[in-house]
Amino acid sequence: MRLLKQLVVVVLVALAGSAGVQAMGWAPAPTLVLGLVTTALTLVAYAWVVRRTERREPVEVALKGAPSALGRGVLIGLALFVAVLVNIYFLGGYEVRGWGSAGGAVAIFGFAAAASVTEEVLFRGVLFRIAEERLGTWISLALTGLLFGLAHVFNPNATLWSALAIAVEAGFLLAAVYAATRNLWVPIGVHFGWNFAQGGLFSTSVSGKDAPQGLLDAATSGPALVSGGKFGPEASVYSLLAGVLLTAVFLWLAKRRGNVVPRRGRATAAATLAG
């Protein structure tokens, strides 16, 4: 019942916010404002339902230390995408033609903020965290990661390969980041940094979705395994490799910090550890 109640509250807020953002039609100011409102409402709703169903303070979204944790995550996400794009560029799969649209970048900022917060709260804050209490870190990471990939299989231009890539490079990685840090701010930052870099800065497709140009007028081309094809760089083999590498790093860090929860671990373990 705890899982169901938290899912219902978070999903309802996320769906309402998503519908509102999409209704803006990528108008810069309205999309930015509604995206930021959606992020705030999602975090408030999550904190409220955790207090009601678990009788504890939601330390994973505590405001103390949030700016620095969020900033670290954003830098990691940006650096990760730049590293992937550099490889694609040197193989001739990415071309910059000039400057794009500042307004488009603003709209994508709002969209990326809403998407990163709602998805992290849902998949890492609710599903992974609660499943981890009973199943342990490893099984929960695998299950929720695959579910995250499956959730993207219906996106425009998606394939089974792109869904698997998303499961590994995002689903596994972001769960590992949460396991290592025991807060949602760092994975939210990683998620946002990656998405905003994709669409808002370098104007590549974000998970197959159509979006306005970001700051650069650019295009991808060439073999889909290199560039990611119409789905975008997330379907590139370089994204998959980068995701595997960083997942291993964060899982090692989680183990070193004693944050790996064994199967059938105590219910309080995952909720109270602090990174």
Tokens of 122: 């849902």
Tokens of 232: 């975008």
Q: How far apart are CA 63 and CA 185, in angstroms?
A: 9
Q: Can you tell me which residue has the tokens 């209490």?
A: 133
Q: What is the pLDDT of residue 268?
A: 43
- pLDDT one-digit tens code per residue, 122-135: 999 999 999 999 99
- pLDDT one-digit tens code per residue, 26-61: 899 999 999 999 999 999 999 999 999 999 999 999
Q: How far apart are CA 220 and CA 226, in angstroms?
A: 10
Q: Where are the domains of the chain?
A: 2-272
Q: Give how far Cα 153 sits from Cα of 63, 157, 167, Å.
A: 34, 9, 10
Q: What is the pLDDT of residue 23?
A: 82
Beta strands in the chain (DSSP E): 94-99, 216-220
Residue 28 CA neighbour count, 13 Å, CB half: 10
Our separate counts of H helices and E strands in the chain read 11, 2
- pLDDT one-digit tens code per residue, 177-192: 999 999 999 999 999 9
Q: How confident is the model at residue 99 (pLDDT cuts 50, 70, 90)?
A: very high
Span 64-78, average pLDDT = 97
pTM of the model: 0.93
* 3 state SS of 267: coil
CB count within 10 Å of CB 135 equals 20
Average pLDDT, the chain: 92
- pLDDT one-digit tens code per residue, 196-205: 999 999 999 8
Kindly tell me if the per-residue pLDDT of 145 is higher than 70: yes
Higher pLDDT, 222 or 268: 222
